[in-house]
A and B are shown apart, each in its own frame.
Chain A
Amino acid sequence: MTNQLREDPSPEMRDSRDATEAVVDFCRKVLELLGLDVAVSAAMREETITVNVSGPDRPVLLATTAALLNSLEYLANKVFRTGTGEEIGSIVLDSDEYRRHREAELVLLAQMASQKVLAQRRPLSLQPMTPKERRIIHLALAETEGIRTESAGEGENRSITIFPS
Chain B
Amino acid sequence: MKELVEMIAKALVDNPEQVTVTEVEGEQTTVLELRVAPSDLGKVIGKQGRTARCIRTLLGAAGMKLRKRFVLEILE
Contacts from A to B (Cβ < 8 Å): 26, 29-30, 33-36, 60-61, 63, 67-68, 70-72, 74-75, 78-79, 154-156
Asked if residues B1 and A33 are in contact (CB atoms below 8 Å), the reply is yes
Which of B11, B43, B46, B54 is within 8 Å of A26, CB to CB? Answer: B11
Of the candidates B3, B4, B12, B48, the one whose C-beta lies within 8 Å of that of A79 is B12
Asked whether B38 is an interface residue with its Cβ less than 8 Å from the other chain, the reply is no
Interchain CB contact under 8 A, A78 and B4 = no
The count of residues in chain B whose C-beta lies closer than 8 Å to any C-beta of chain A is 24
Residues of A within 8 A of B65 (CB): 34-36, 60
Q: Mark B1-22, 1 if CB is under 8 A from A, else 0.
A: 1011001100110000000000
Dominant secondary structure of chain B at its interface with chain A: helix
* Chain B interfacial positions (CB closer than 8 Å to A): 1, 3-4, 7-8, 11-12, 43, 46, 48-51, 53-55, 57-58, 60-62, 64-66
Q: Are B58 and A71 in contact (CB under 8 A)?
A: yes
Residues B61 and A68 in contact, CB atoms below 8 Å apart: yes
Q: Shortest Cβ distance from A22 into chain B, in angstroms?
A: 10
A30-B7, A35-B66, A67-B57 known; A78 vs B49 contact (CB < 8 Å):
no
CB distance from A63 to the nearest CB of B (A): 8
Q: Which residues of B contact A72 (CB under 8 A)?
A: 54, 58
**Alpha-carbon distance A60/B3, docked complex (angstroms):** 20
Besides A30-B4, A74-B51, A75-B58, 5 more A-B contacts (Cβ < 8 Å) are A35-B65, A60-B64, A71-B54, A75-B54, A79-B8
Q: Which residues of A contact B51 (CB under 8 A)?
A: 74-75, 78
In the complex, which residues of chain A have a beta carbon less than 8 angstroms from the beta carbon of B54?
70-72, 74-75
Q: List residues of chain A with CB within 8 A of the CB of B4.
A: 30, 33-34
Contact between B46 and A78 (Cβ–Cβ < 8 Å)? yes
Q: Considering the chains assembled together, what is the distance between the CA atoms of A98 and B61 in angstroms?
A: 18
Closest A residue to B56 by CB, please name it.
A71
A64 to chain B, nearest CB (A): 9
Could you give 11 example pairs across A and B, Cβ below 8 Å? A30-B7, A35-B66, A36-B61, A60-B61, A61-B61, A68-B58, A71-B57, A72-B54, A75-B51, A155-B48, A156-B50
A68: B residues at CB distance < 8 A: 57-58, 61
